[in-house]
Amino acid sequence: MSFWVIFIYVVPGVRPQDRERVLGAERVSRKEEEMHRSDRCRTCWFSPATCICDAIKSLHCSKNVKFLVYMHYKELFNAGDDAKLLFGAFPGRSEVSVVVRCYSPYIPLVSIL
C-alpha cells in the first residue's frame, strides 16, 4: 500500500500561484548560506576528503558551443548532482540556471557561471 503526503504551505501575503517561487527562492538563499559556512568544495560541492575536482579533465570542443543546464533548486549544492561536472569538463562553456517550476514556464531563480 502506498501513501502520498502532500504538504501545502501557506505564505501570508503571497498568492498561491507564486508560493513555489517564493519558497524556492528562500530555500536557495538558505542553501547558499549553508554552503558558505561549510568546508565543502565550492566547485564540486563534496567534502575536502572526497573532492573530485582533480579527477575532472578539461575537454576540448571543436565547435563553438555552450552548455546551458536548467537545475531544479532542490539540486543546488547537492554533491550527487552531476550537472556541475560540465563546469570542470568545459570551463567557460557551461552555464547553469537554477529554476523553480511555477506552473509553466520555468522561472530562473539564479544563474551560476
Instruction: Please indicate, yes or no, whether the overall pTM of this predicted structure exceeds 0.85.
Output: no
CB atoms within 10 A of CB 4: 4
Confidence of residue 2 (pLDDT cuts 50, 70, 90): very low
Q: What is the chain's percent helix, strand, coil content, to nearest 5?
A: 30, 20, 50
Q: CA torsion sign, 23 to 28 to 31 to 33?
A: negative
Q: What is the pLDDT of residue 51?
A: 92
pLDDT digits (tens, 9 = 90+) for 21-69: 778 888 888 888 898 899 999 888 899 999 998 998 888 888 888 888 8
pLDDT digits (tens, 9 = 90+) for 79-107: 888 887 888 888 888 888 887 765 445 45
Q: What is the pLDDT of residue 78?
A: 86
